[in-house]
Structure 1
Amino acid sequence: MALEDRYGLPLSTASDQAASAYREGVDLMLSGWTGTAEALERAIAADPDFALAHIARARVHAFYQQGDLARSKAALARELVAISGTERERSHVETLALAIEGRGPDAIAAMFKHVESWPRDAVVLSLPLGAFGLFAFSGMADHDRARHELCQSVAHRYGEDWWFLTMSGWAMTENGDVVRGRAVTERGFDLRRANAHAAHAVLHAMFEDGSIEDADHLVDDWIPTYDRAGILHGHILWHQALGALERGDATRALQIYADVLQPSATQAPPLNAITDGASLLWRLSAYGHSVPKALWVEADAAAQKLFPKSGLPFADVHMALFAAATQNCEALAARLAAIEQRLADGKLPAGPVLPAICRGLAAFADENYAACVRELDPVLAEIARIGGSHAQRELIEDAFLLALIRSGELPRARKLLDARLHRRPSLRDTRWQAAIS
């Protein structure tokens, strides 16, 4: 009898041990749990010719920006699957390899073709989902809707699968159906509590519906079960820090920063490490709280090593925050020049939105609030093009709102705040009320 993955798809290995370790590794990967790499390494050790184990291991390397290792394992997986893999496995390996190589449009096209034939291949379906998935980083302004529609198209294939409920519920939330999205995500979370992606998705729903206390309690109750080395450990506590800021508790937010987000403490993948740190420090400063200059300098130095050159738009925005906050005009000018060149060469999927955001944030840091408004105003409706989630991108809207207030455009600021409260009626946006009144 042929060995299968958890979704009933045949696996080209004769080793029960390899298949079992692969199934475990995939479930750990889909839940953002520790032990993923170790399980996949056991699968490879049990069957060195098992292509799917190699490509899954390559994907984990890619999560941590270990590009050379990821690409070499992807190349080996291609060689192995060409010898002994099925049509489904060859397509699976090729789609993941394209994503690992940074060939986003090709990977998206391959994903659609693959899912049409094998809709229950969850590893391939996971590629476009989430705030850092292929759709989010494609430059699409409507990637939230695209994620939701893709999930809906295959929902009947998954039923009450814990992973699918988690990701489809989050897609609903980000696409604006917060009540339903929270309910679906919580259903998936209840089916598998050892699931960091589920905890994370529920926190996003709570952010959108303004359930700050619920989110705080969720993190306090759940985080002790999750190892600090977990891929989302720091980011989940970043969400708790946002809740602390909603309550005006800067001390708690800084404690969380020091505990899990500061460069000397974080175990997060590079992209999470720089974006979570930069955005939390920026929010603290923008909301009127004191942030020691040394924290910015330390975080900037670490970030420059991780992202020395312009590449990923979401990273570029946060690198602009670092450069602006530390008044590193040379670094900011160099990054902006590289971004503008990529735009001119037609190699910037996010388009003119990215340089405008970077210039706007730099103007904000220089306290040139009128210039910040001028830069951000034309692109505010399309900031989703840089990727990430609503919660992450809200700092750009915050910058625009504060710039309106500080440049004296109070009627426009009130209108923007009213729109936010309409979108999230449970949110107590008290920090803005005094400034506008």
Structure 2
Amino acid sequence: MAHQDRYGLPLSTASDAAADAYRDGVDLMLSGWTGMAETLERAIAADPGFALPHIARARVHAFYQQGDLARSKAALARELVARRGTERERSHVETLALSIEGRLHEAIASTLKHIESWPRDALVLSLPLGAFGLFAFSGMADHDRARHELCERVAQHYGEDWWFLTMAGWAMTENGDVARGRSVTERGFNLRRANAHAAHAVLHAMFEDGSIEAADRLVDDWIPTYDRAGILHGHIRWHQALGALERDDSARALAIYADVLQPAVTQAPPLNVVTDAASLLWRLSAYGHTVPKTLWQEADAAAQKMFPKSSLPFADVHMALFAAATQNHAALTARLATIEQRLAEGKLPAGPVVPAIVRALAAFAGEDYASSVQMLAPVLAEVVRIGGSHAQRELIEDTYIVALMRSGELPRARALLDARLHRRPSLRDTRWQAATG
């Protein structure tokens, strides 16, 4: 019998070892678990002419911003699949290659076309899903809804599959159906506990429904099973640090930062390094807690090496946090100029919200809170366009609330806080007392 992947799709290899390692490697990738790169390398060694492990390995390189390696392996996969590969495998390789090459809209079109024919090709289906997926970084204002609707369309093909339940449940949560999303995600998590994406998705549901204490316990109980080298290890602890801030425990948040989020110690991919560090330090400062300048300076120096030029709007916004907090006006001005040029050339799908946020952050850091309010108010509904999750984007609303407080507009700030507490009634708002400055 011909080899198949875990979803029953044929694999163009005669090697038992290559097929086994490829299946395992894909599962490790879909679960965000350690060993994915090494397992895929075993598949490649067992059958160097088998294209699929090459393109999967290229995707892992892309996770870690190893662009040259990712593109070279994608190019090789294209050559190999043209010599030996089914129509499905050729489309699979091409779709992943487009994503790796940053050809966003072509990759989205190719993904959707591919899924129509092969809905159980989970690795391709994973591309538009999640907070850092193709949909989230497309500039779409409705990417949360788009992910949910895509999962609903293909749900009949997956049933009780641990990976699909994880991602479908998270899509529900981000689209506002938090109770159902949490239930579905927990179902997937219980089917495979060695699944960092599931633990992460459950934490997002807990964030949205205000289950801060339960989220803290989940991380404490589960994180010892997950190696520090895991792709989401630091980010899962970042969620725990957010919970500490909800309890106004800045010491614990800073301890988590020092343990796993500080660029000098983390093993996370560059995008997570920059966004987790910048957003946590900014929140601490905005809520009125003291953040040593050296933490900002060290993290900023590392971030500048990872993202020296304007790139994804989500990364640019977080790089602006560093530049604003360290008063690096030259870096901020240069990045803003590039962003505005891309906007003028029609090459910034997220649109005018990106430069507006950057300017507002600079005004906030310069203690011009009234201007920060003025700049953010018209674009709050468009912040979703920068991508990321709701938990990550809430930083912008937090900045707006604190700016309202510090500019004397307490009733407007109170109204926003009350709306949040209505959504998440178990939260406390004591953390905001120090934020008035």
Shared fold by TM > 0.5? Answer: yes
**Which AA in structure 1 matches 2:235?**
H
Q: Indicate yes or no: 2:184 matched with 1:171.
A: no
Tell me if the contact between 1:278 and 1:321 (Cα under 8 Å) persists in the aligned partners. Answer: yes
Cα deviation, residue 430, structure 1:
2.9
For 1:156-200, what per-residue CA distance to the aligned partner results, in whole angstroms no more than 9, with x for missing partners? 100000000000000000000000000000000000000000000
Tell me if the contact between 1:128 and 1:147 (Cα under 8 Å) persists in the aligned partners. Answer: yes
Q: Distance in 2 between matches of 1:192 and 1:375?
A: 45
In structure 2, relative to structure 1, the CA distance for the partners of 1:433 and 1:423 (3 Å cut) is farther
Q: Distance in 1 between matches of 2:347 and 2:425?
A: 39
Tell me if the contact between 2:262 and 2:299 (Cα under 8 Å) persists in the aligned partners. Answer: yes
Residue of structure 2 in register with 1:407 after alignment? 407
Other structure's SS at 1:14 match = coil
Residue of structure 1 in register with 2:155 after alignment? 155
Residue of structure 2 in register with 1:104 after alignment? 104
Other structure's SS at 1:371 match = helix
Superposition map of 1:36-435 within 5 A = 36-432=36-432
For 1:103-126, what per-residue CA distance to the aligned partner results, in whole angstroms no more than 9, with x for missing partners? 010000000000000000000000
Q: Distance in 1 between matches of 2:396 and 2:35?
A: 36
For 1:70-113, what per-residue CA distance to the aligned partner results, in whole angstroms no more than 9, with x for missing partners? 00000000001111110000000000000000001000000000
Q: Distance in 1 between matches of 2:207 and 2:80?
A: 44
Q: Distance in 2 between matches of 1:424 and 1:91?
A: 43
Q: Distance in 2 between matches of 1:206 and 1:426?
A: 11
**Which AA in structure 2 matches 1:353?**
V
Cα deviation, residue 435, structure 1:
6.9
Other structure's SS at 2:119 match = coil
Q: Distance in 1 between matches of 2:291 and 2:430?
A: 21
Cα deviation, residue 248, structure 1:
0.9
Tell me if the contact between 1:210 and 1:428 (Cα under 8 Å) persists in the aligned partners. Answer: no
**Which AA in structure 2 matches 1:181?**
G
Cα deviation, residue 411, structure 1:
1.9
Other structure's SS at 2:111 match = helix
Equivalent pairs counted in the alignment come to: 436
Kindly, what percent of the aligned residue pairs are identical?
84
Other structure's SS at 1:205 match = helix
Tell me if the contact between 2:342 and 2:348 (Cα under 8 Å) persists in the aligned partners. Answer: yes
Other structure's SS at 1:230 match = coil
**Which AA in structure 2 matches 1:284?**
L
Q: Distance in 1 between matches of 2:86 and 2:429?
A: 54
For 1:200-226, what per-residue CA distance to the aligned partner results, in whole angstroms no more than 9, with x for missing partners? 000000000000100000000000000
Gaps of 5+ in 1: none
Q: Distance in 2 between matches of 1:50 and 1:375?
A: 53
Tell me if the contact between 2:288 and 2:435 (Cα under 8 Å) persists in the aligned partners. Answer: no
Cα deviation, residue 3, structure 1:
0.3
Q: Distance in 2 between matches of 1:435 and 1:267?
A: 32
Q: Distance in 2 between matches of 1:122 and 1:359?
A: 40
Cα deviation, residue 416, structure 1:
1.5
Superposed CA RMSD in Å reads 1.0
Residue of structure 2 in register with 1:11 after alignment? 11
Residue of structure 1 in register with 2:27 after alignment? 27
Tell me if the contact between 2:288 and 2:434 (Cα under 8 Å) persists in the aligned partners. Answer: no
For 1:113-145, what per-residue CA distance to the aligned partner results, in whole angstroms no more than 9, with x for missing partners? 000000000000000000000000000011000
Question: TM-score under structure 1 normalisation?
Answer: 0.99
Tell me if the contact between 2:172 and 2:181 (Cα under 8 Å) persists in the aligned partners. Answer: yes
Gaps of 5+ in 2: none
Q: Distance in 2 between matches of 1:307 and 1:295?
A: 18
Other structure's SS at 2:291 match = coil
**Which AA in structure 1 matches 2:255?**
Q
Tell me if the contact between 2:55 and 2:96 (Cα under 8 Å) persists in the aligned partners. Answer: yes
Question: TM-score under structure 2 normalisation?
Answer: 0.99
